[in-house]
Structure 1
Amino acid sequence: MTRYDQPYSPGGFQVMPPAIKAIIITNVIVFLFQNSAFGPALTTFGALWPIGSHNPAGYSFHLWQPITYLFLHGSFAHIFFNMFALWMFGVEIENYWGTRNFVSFYFICGIGAALINLLATYGSPYPTIGASGAIFGVLLAFGMMFPDRYIYLYFLLPIKTKYFVAGYALIEFIMGLGNRTMGSGSDIAYFAHLGGMLFGYIYIVIRRNEWTIKRMFRDFSLPKKPKGPVLWQGGGKDDDTSEAEIDRILDKISSRGYDSLTAEEKRTLLKAGKR
């Protein structure tokens, strides 16, 4: 993965960080155009049409659609709840990761959602629109970063984020299977949502482990050292990291962003989290 040289340092927590603000404004502008005289052509041109689609008008898939479909919405409620969820779950993610990392993550989730949706809807006559796939990726990231934070369902029922995200993913999977097997004709792209989560998870795992194509080829090509018997676990140098060191790293993330950490600090934080 690309490592950005300049850490994101906004000078404090931002209620509306740059990327989220730009995404919301762009979606609103596009939605206004959708409700103008240009709306039908814009929606048709930018929607994600399934590969092998059989429809009377002959619309088909094009390479730009896995990006353009993210900015199209079918109703006011559709765009409102998508943008509200993006703001609610994405603000802290962008503040911690930095704007460029967040933008990369958002579009990787959105494009990944499109790819999974294309596999699930092959031959369908109906297109897909909406930013939900990318936003489900953001929801997953929030759950992985703040697993024990409480979310209040219907503003009443507290549930930890990790259980909320896992439950939501399970419901989406069950509903998606039901939609495919029973042919319910639902207009909700369940597998696109799951695709956004899947690609978001892959992205986070890659970043946490600092994998790069160069590093993976290097590790694959180097001869493996023979392993001796493991007499016991723990007690090594890595286990001696003090709480003060962890607190220092966390303070650095809060003030300067995750990308300001050195490779050694990232490994220390990851190992501490596993313990």
Structure 2
Amino acid sequence: MADKGSIFTSPSIVIIILCTLSLFMETVPGIGSIYINIFQFDPHSLFTRPWTLITYIFLHTGLWHLFFNMVVLYFFGTALESRAGNKQLLAIFFTAGILSAIGYTFLSRPIFDISPGPMIGASGAIYGVFAALTMLEPDLRVYVYFIPMRLKHALVLFALFDFLMVNSSDMIAHTAHLSGLFVGLYMGLRIKNLQEKNIKSRYIGRW
């Protein structure tokens, strides 16, 4: 059974707090630029600065970037916690975040002919949470820009957008988003299969 989190024990809330504090550090004069340089992810420094595979997740380009990501994480993250548990949320979030950076590094040039530069933001990790929740609750009703739709349709819409925009010059790491999405789909499917197996075993055990 999933471990039920509250606003005080929810890992999603803790991540939101850490990202908010991190943005504050980014804005401190004389320190912010150094802070970003130390913790941002640069594909060219993957093997010499491995800690950035995690730390880049907590950095954001500004208030609106942070706000949008954290709103999505709050709703999808807490929903995933209630359906899969806090530990699974953390596993999906950080696995998707790490593999988003790795996918961004190794898939951008050979597949899309893009030269990957430094990257910050929790979007790839959040895409993993989004996709995993979709595997568990595909018909959950959500609002995308005030338009109601099922979660599975929202995921397809965002995936299609990232795929079509992958070669654009909008400074968004679309390959990282797509990498996180596929990680989330895989991990969500594994959780779903495990939950269904546990339900069947409990049902059979009653006879």
TM-score greater than 0.5 by the shorter chain? yes
The match for 2:151 among 161, 173, 182 is 161
Distance apart, 1:197 and its partner CA = 0.8
Distance apart, 1:149 and its partner CA = 2.3
Q: Is the 8 A contact 2:144 2:154 kept in 1?
A: no
The match for 1:21 among 1, 4, 13 is 13
Q: Hey, what's the Cα distance between the residues in 1 that align with 2:104 and 2:149?
A: 29
Please report the RMSD computed on the Cα atoms of aligned residues, expressed in angstroms: 2.4
Q: Hey, what's the Cα distance between the residues in 2 that align with 1:27 and 1:266?
A: 40
Q: Hey, what's the Cα distance between the residues in 2 that align with 1:82 and 1:154?
A: 14
The match for 1:172 among 151, 159, 162 is 162
Q: Hey, what's the Cα distance between the residues in 2 that align with 1:201 and 1:267?
A: 24
2:31 corresponds in structure 1 to 38
The match for 2:128 among 137, 159, 179 is 137
Runs of 5+ consecutive residues of structure 1 not aligned to the other structure: 1-6, 52-59, 211-257, 270-275
The superposition leaves residues 73-123 of structure 1 with CA deviations (integer Å, 9 ceiling, x where unpaired) of 011001111111000111111122111121111101111111111114468
Distance apart, 1:22 and its partner CA = 1.0
Runs of 5+ consecutive residues of structure 2 not aligned to the other structure: none
2:83 corresponds in structure 1 to 96
Q: How does 1:1-275 map to 2 (within 5 A)?
A: 8-10=2-4, 14=6, 17-36=9-28, 37-51=30-44, 60-61=45-46, 62-121=49-108, 124=115, 126-155=117-146, 157-176=147-166, 179=167, 184-210=168-194, 264-265=198-199
- Which is richer in helix? 2
Q: Is the 8 A contact 1:16 1:91 kept in 2?
A: no
Distance apart, 1:158 and its partner CA = 2.1
Which amino acid counterpart does residue 164 of structure 2 have in structure 1?
I
1:252 corresponds in structure 2 to none
Q: Is the 8 A contact 1:48 1:128 kept in 2?
A: yes
Larger Rg: 1
Distance apart, 1:174 and its partner CA = 1.5
Aligned length: 196
Task: Return the TM-score normalized by structure 2.
Answer: 0.84
The superposition leaves residues 37-69 of structure 1 with CA deviations (integer Å, 9 ceiling, x where unpaired) of 211011111111123xxxxxxxx3321111011
Calculate percent identity across the aligned residue pairs: 32
Q: Hey, what's the Cα distance between the residues in 2 that align with 1:95 and 1:17?
A: 12
Which amino acid counterpart does residue 81 of structure 1 have in structure 2?
F
